[in-house]
Structure 1
Amino acid sequence: MTQARTESAFKGLALRLFAIACLSTMSALIKLAEARGATLVETMFHRQFWAVPLVTAWIVAGPGLGSIRTRRFGAHVSRTAIGLCGMVFTFGAVLLLPLAEATTLQFTVPIFATILGALVLGEKTGWHRWGAVIVGFAGVLVVTQPGSGTFPLAGSVVGLLAALFVAIVAITLRQIGKTESAGTTVFWFSVLSLPPLGIAYAFQLQAHDWLTWANLIAIGLVGGIAQLALTASVRFAPVSTVIPMDYSSLVWGTLFGWLLFDAWPTPWTWIGAPIIIASGLYIVWRERVLHLRNTEAVSEAATS
């Protein structure tokens, strides 16, 4: 039993690492597409359009198309609206900032999730996690160096808004996940996002060379594969186990930035990124500790 659990955890970790590598590759492709004349709307449309066949095939091969039936269509519409706003900021940060810096700001997601959990969901948040939040934002200040002019202010704001919306999406998915499977949620987000993106895309249609078209298609395919791998990773291992793998994106962001765009992280990024990462890891660890305590308390109450 222990060996099977260990093998399952390793599968989850491997899938998470693979998903992060795909997401980092997608970010690099987004910057390359923009350098070749593609707009933000174009990249967003192709990201969703080419992911739909992948997601559909995954559902057909798994639970079947019948699993996409839902009684919470309105919840999926709301999730799509929030998700599209998040995509605007996430893609925008990639376009406005060097890859390593855009990636580093994404590490503030656990910080925003803690704040939103306390303010929106009324979750109890002790001084341990509030302390981690403060430390994490100190790391953000180290990276962005506000007022110094060395880091684009617009990029900093967009990058932090991207992390905020990712945290909002996580909370939304937590609510939807009580009745909907991950595959159902991914499917409806992909499909429902196409009409608004398609309308916006219709006003920005333009010709490209074959390499740019290939780039745009790759954004959708690689992004879709990443989404499926992320979903599968939490089937094999707990979220708290696989989340630390997300920080491997800094390695990819630094590597792609150097190889493709001749951009190297600033010295302040090297200092601030570990602070933000440590803050996020501590928050994840603390949530895991509290979860185990609550589980033990429930078990003891049930047996007494």
Structure 2
Amino acid sequence: MARSDNLTGALLMMGSMVAFTVNDVFIKTLAGDIPLFQLLFLRGIVTTILVGAIAWRMGVLRVRLSRRDMGSVAIRIVAEIGAAYFFLTALFNLPIANVTAILQVIPLTITLAAAVFYRDPLGWRRLVAILIGFGGVLLIVRPGADDFTVYSFYALAAVGFVTLRDLITRRLSRDAPSMLVTFITSASIMVAFGLASLGGDWVAVDLRAAGLVLGASVMVVGGYLSSIMVMRVGEVSFIAPFRYTGLIWALLLGWLVFGEWPAPVTLVGAAIVVGSGMFTLYREAQLGWKRRSSLAPRPR
């Protein structure tokens, strides 16, 4: 029996989440063994080579971006650098499931920011869902609690930079190939963290560490390619909720690899964030269907 486009899209989305989560596990395993900037530089080398090879095979390296697109790409690079630094710093110092749970609020922050900066319509139902989702984040972070750590704010800073990145990405024209933008961004991140690493000590990389860096790079590229293919099959309203399977993988791998398990209140907060995000996606899909219906030609 032929597989439906929706099922294919769901499998690709889940595969993307597995790849990104495994990358996080590989990187977290190296915490304390390799300085952060050196680690990001080394991963950047491999990632840039892999993405560059794919971009070359696709023939997009010869495409010239417009001045407006280059400005957007420059801002996007800054956002990516900030997101990488704050996310990995949080990942090194917090359970992987906690960091992943906080990042599940990103669809809500993007929806809210798009309404503020792009004047996207935002009804009261989605606004209430966003506020409830932010309440769930407070349960995860728990400022003032005995087990509170400042690194939770690093994860929130990463959310802010990812939101900025995705908002800027919306400004890119259709003439800007995704793989070319990814290659420019990857190369820029590699250079930025390479320069930053010169200010600190470098450590020797043994075979185990090299394997983990290589594995992390492959997972990042694989996750990105899967997320691109997701947009080409199936219905977004059906596929998008499967992005939350990343939290399940983070819980499972965090327990198996690091012996971590979040506190019950953290799990409650994560459930609230995921529930709010899924409701927001559902409402967006519903409104999109209504808009398409109103624009469809009426039968004569």
| TM-score using structure 1 length | 0.90
Report 1:27-46 matches (<5 A): 27-35=24-32, 37-46=33-42
Asked if 1:174 is matched to 2:170, the reply is yes
CA contact (8 A) 2:133 2:277 kept: yes
Match in the other structure for 1:279: 276
Return the offset for 1:220: 1.7
Work out the CA distance in 1 between the residues paired with 2:131 and 2:97.
22
CA contact (8 A) 2:72 2:169 kept: no
Match in the other structure for 1:55: 51
Match in the other structure for 1:89: 86
Match in the other structure for 1:118: 115
Return the offset for 1:118: 1.7
Asked if 1:194 is matched to 2:190, the reply is yes
Q: Deviations over 1:113-138 (max 9, x none)?
A: 12211211122211011100111011
Report 1:117-266 matches (<5 A): 117-152=114-149, 154-204=150-200, 205-266=202-263
Q: Could you say what secondary structure the match of 1:76 adopts?
A: helix
Q: 1:237 to 1:68 in 2, by over 3 A?
A: farther
| Unaligned ranges ≥5, structure 2 | none
CA RMSD of aligned residues (A): 2.1
Return the offset for 1:177: 4.8
Return the offset for 1:159: 1.2
Return the offset for 1:238: 4.1
Specify the code of the residue in structure 1 equivalent to 2:55: I
Work out the CA distance in 1 between the residues paired with 2:173 and 2:264.
41
Q: 1:19 to 1:113 in 2, by over 3 A?
A: same
Work out the CA distance in 1 between the residues paired with 2:183 and 2:237.
24
Return the offset for 1:42: 2.1
Q: 1:247 to 1:191 in 2, by over 3 A?
A: same
Q: Deviations over 1:13-35 (max 9, x none)?
A: 21111111011011111111114
Q: Could you say what secondary structure the match of 1:180 adopts?
A: coil
CA contact (8 A) 1:93 1:159 kept: yes
Q: 1:51 to 1:234 in 2, by over 3 A?
A: same
Work out the CA distance in 2 between the residues paired with 1:110 and 1:73.
25
Match in the other structure for 2:60: 65
Q: 1:66 to 1:27 in 2, by over 3 A?
A: closer
Q: 1:9 to 1:54 in 2, by over 3 A?
A: farther
Specify the code of the residue in structure 2 equivalent to 1:47: R
Return the offset for 1:85: 0.9
CA contact (8 A) 1:129 1:283 kept: yes
User: What's the % identity of the aligned pairs?
Assistant: 25
Q: Which has the larger share of helix?
A: 1
Q: Deviations over 1:84-143 (max 9, x none)?
A: 111112212211210111110011101211221121112221101110011101111222
Specify the code of the residue in structure 2 equivalent to 1:273: A
Q: Could you say what secondary structure the match of 1:34 adopts?
A: coil
| TM-score using structure 2 length | 0.91
Work out the CA distance in 2 between the residues paired with 1:127 and 1:120.
17
| Unaligned ranges ≥5, structure 1 | none
Work out the CA distance in 1 between the residues paired with 2:27 and 2:156.
19
Work out the CA distance in 1 between the residues paired with 2:38 and 2:230.
29
CA contact (8 A) 1:67 1:184 kept: no
Q: Deviations over 1:197-234 (max 9, x none)?
A: 22112333321322122222222222122111111211
Return the offset for 1:191: 2.0
Return the offset for 1:173: 1.3
